[in-house]
Amino acid sequence: MHAFALGLVAGLAVAMPLGPIGVLLLRESLLSGRRRAVAAALGVATVDTVYAIAAVLVGSQVALLVSSAATVIRIVSGAALLAVGVVGLVGWWRTRDVEPVLDERPAGSAYLRFVAYTALNPATLLIFATVATGAVAELGDGRPAFAVGAAFVGGVTVASAGWQVVLVVIGGLAGARLGPRLRAWVSPIGSALVVGLAAWVLVG
């Protein structure tokens, strides 16, 4: 139970701060409808779960690898997020005179896109690895390490999925109340925020 609680805390610690992924999720929920937004949220939670599993299985090695390559990881992830924001701004500029419509592409495309976005931030893996290594070592209480690790991963999954879904549901409810004029500004504002946050990541 303690390992599950630690997973919840670690998952929320990663999910709750509103970084580039959170901004992109809010933009998705405001512009694309609840179904695509929930799929996007589950894409984020999927990567968090995979990172948590990796942290449990090879936590100390992962922590060492991520720490040693921290600068490269920061530059690559920051540059990738910067590109996402710039592409969003360019796309908005090219279609700025067209009234925005609901994105009706399959929800699976949103899921895969946010899996890719979230995978760009392996620093999450370092956080999970640090907590998971301690959890497996200190919270065994005579139980198999597998049970402790599984409880930790379960906590991360519940926390991440729960928070991301709540975020997009709130965004979707807000989006339903936006008029066409306000909706037209969601994409450029969201993209500009992503550009700013990506620049902050690059500066370090």
The string of pLDDT tens digits covering residues 107-134 is 899 999 999 988 887 777 777 777 776 6
First to last CA, the chain: 36
In terms of Cα–Cα distance, which of 47, 171, 37 is closest to 110? 37
pLDDT band at 177 (very low <50, low <70, confident <90, very high): confident
Cβ pair 82, 138 in contact under 8 A: no
Tell me, what's the pLDDT at 81? 86
**DSSP string across 169-185:** HHHHHHHHT--HHHHHH
Gap between the Cα atoms of 8 and 126, Å rounded: 16
Residue 141 has pLDDT above 70, yes or no: no
How does DSSP classify residue 16? S
Work out the angle at residue 197's Cα, subtended by the Cα atoms of residues 195 and 198, and round it to the nearest 5 degrees: 65
CA dihedral over 129, 134, 139, 145, signed as positive or negative: positive
Tell me, what's the pLDDT at 144? 58
pTM across the whole model: 0.83
Q: Which domain holds residue 136?
A: 2-203
In terms of Cα–Cα distance, which of 168, 174, 190, 172 is closest to 91? 190
Q: How far is CA 27 from the centre of its chain?
A: 13
Q: How far is CA 164 from the centre of its chain?
A: 8
Gap between the Cα atoms of 9 and 98, Å rounded: 43
How many structural domains compose the chain?
1
pLDDT tens-digit series, residues 42-71: 999 999 999 888 888 876 676 677 677 778
Can you tell me the mean pLDDT for 89-98? 80
- Percent of the chain exceeding pLDDT 70 equals 86
Cβ pair 20, 81 in contact under 8 A: yes
